[in-house]
Amino acid sequence: MQKPKNIIQKVWEQHVVHQEAGKPDLLYIDLHLVHEVTSPQAFEGLRMNGRKVRRPDLTYATMDHNVSTRDRNVIKDPISKKQIDTLKENCQEFGVELSDRQHPDNGIVHVIGPELGLTQPGKTIVCGDSHTSTHGAFGALAFGIGTSEVEHVLATQTLWQAPPKTMNVKMNGKLGTGVTAKDLILAIIGKFGVQFGTGYVMEYTGEAIRSLSMEERMTVCNMSIEGGARAGLIAPDETTFEYLKGRRHVPKGEAFEEAVAKWRTLSTEEGAEYDAVVEIEASEVEPQVTWGTNPGMCIPITASVPNPEEEEKSNKKDEISRALQYMGLEADQPISSVKIDHVFIGSCTNSRLSDLRKAADVVRGHKVNPKVKAIVVPGSFSVKLAAEKEGIDQIFKEAGFEWREAGCSMCLAMNDDIVPPGGRCASTSNRNFEGRQGNGSRTHLVSPEMAAAAAVAGHFVDVRQFTAQEVL
């Protein structure tokens, strides 16, 4: 009898085009997503060698990093504009479908893939972007690649890849009230560090994962890369099929039923093994706030910033001291005492409709603290429209948030949405690296609910206890 397999091994095997000793496997790619920042040199490479895009029909492009969230039609920076224009020209020349700035399907690449139903269980999906792991929420094997690999996929629709090690990330129990998918993944990275997943593809399993919605699962998978794993996935189930049904690129009618039957066979088999297993008790997770300069540097809202003196190893001591210095924090300071001046609700981690709904629920009836500049940037054009239909934009605007157009925006500040030097931002994005939101900016990663509460309070607060009285 064959050894039972996990979902990662199954999807992998289904995509091997060629195997030979001494080489990685040649893996077929089902969907290649493209954006403006990591593709120009790849298209240029094709041109220089007289090569074409092998499967334009499996390639889909969008522009998200450079777009302005104030006015979609205007890009002030001429170099950004050039990058945007170059993508458009390349897509025309090579016959690749593009949702450009004005297109109703436009948005952050990892938001629109699922929205359009391009993302499906069992697919291999790549993009020149490390947060491609997001698409793993559907049971796809999705990972980020560099520009040389983008060129390779454009030309051959394949990649040479060594089979990854597999890891089972078990999330037992249920999340408590006010604790979100974002807190769950931050807590995992906080517990196991920013490189525990290096060399692995993760499968997230357990009760806590099963009870998450698709959008919450995307939040979890999005940050797999922050734990070092190129890909993290979740076996598809009824929640997945329900989400996919009726989306534009998903098969319809009978073909849908057939697809679902096939997708069901992807799940990890009883008794299948992994190269590693880690576990976390979801019920013990509290709302998280990062205090340092990588996503592993996070603590519960009820805790205090660490003290480097309590570390034994000198390089760890240095790392903490340097992070505290950059962040302008004192050792042992309660994180709830930290005042903020910027709030960013957006990014491919937390800019979907349910994220905005939950943040709006916290904000409703409150005002943004006068010292805080707060913006909401929907993940896509269609998220924005849907939110406006529900009146979510009004709740934010009445509270004093700016309601913006879709894009990556302040997640990496490649456009004009920048946190100034020394500015401190509660952000729903995924990276708190030095200078990520602007040179000298200080980022604290939180859930949308926690960001909303912080916007009102002007400092971090435990959203579980957030009431009108306690805001003061």
Residues lying near ligand SF4 in the complex (CB under 6 A): 64-65, 108, 110, 129, 131, 347-348, 408, 411-412, 429-430
**Residue 139 — left, alpha, or beta (φ > 0 → left; ψ -120 to 50 → alpha)?**
left
Task: Examine residue 277 and tell whether it contacts another protein (CB under 8 A).
Answer: no
- Binding mask 133-152 toward another protein (x if CB under 8 A, else -) reads ----------xxxxxxx-xx
Burial 291-308 (b: 16+ CB within 10 A, else e): bbbbbbbbbbbeebbbeb
**CB-nearer residue toward ligand SF4: 118 or 412:** 412
Interface with another protein, residue 83, by CB under 8 A: yes
Instruction: Give whichever of 38 and 447 is closer to another protein, judged by the CB atom.
Output: 38
52 binds another protein (CB under 8 A): no
Name which position in 4, 13, 23, 262 contacts another protein (CB under 8 A).
23
Note whether 18 binds another protein by CB under 8 A. Answer: yes
CB-neighbour burial class of residue 314 (10 A; exposed 0-12, middle 13-18, buried 19+) = exposed
Cα angle vertex 39, ends 37, 40, to 5°?
90
CB 456 within 8 A of CB 367: yes
- Select the binding partner of residue 411 from ligand SF4, another protein, none (C-beta < 5 to 8 A, by kind): ligand SF4
- Choosing from 3, 50, 79, 472, the residue that interacts with another protein (CB under 8 A) is 79
319 binds another protein (CB under 8 A): yes
> What is the spatial distance between Cα 252 and Cα 250, in angstroms, rounded to a whole number?
6
Q: Total number of residues binding another protein (CB under 8 A)? A: 64
Element (H, E) at 114: helix 109-115
The length of the chain, given as a count of residues: 472
From the list ligand SF4, another protein, none, which binds 328 (C-beta under 5 to 8 Å, kind-based)? none
* Residue 397 near residue 403 (C-beta atoms within 8 A): yes
Q: Which does 17 bind (CB under 5 to 8 A by kind): another protein, ligand SF4, none?
A: another protein
Sign of CA dihedral 141, 144, 149, 154: positive
Report the alpha-carbon distance of residue 357 to residue 340 in Å, rounded. 22
Among left, alpha and beta (phi > 0; psi -120 to 50; other), residue 111 is alpha
**Which listed range, 191-199, 208-216, 237-245, 348-356, lies at the site for another protein (CB under 8 A)?**
191-199
| Interacting residues toward another protein by CB under 8 A | 17-18, 22-24, 26, 28, 37-38, 40-41, 44-45, 49, 51, 54, 65-66, 77, 79-80, 82-83, 86, 128-130, 143-149, 151-152, 155-158, 160, 162, 194-195, 198-199, 225, 228, 230, 294, 315, 319, 322, 412-414, 421, 431, 433-436, 439-440
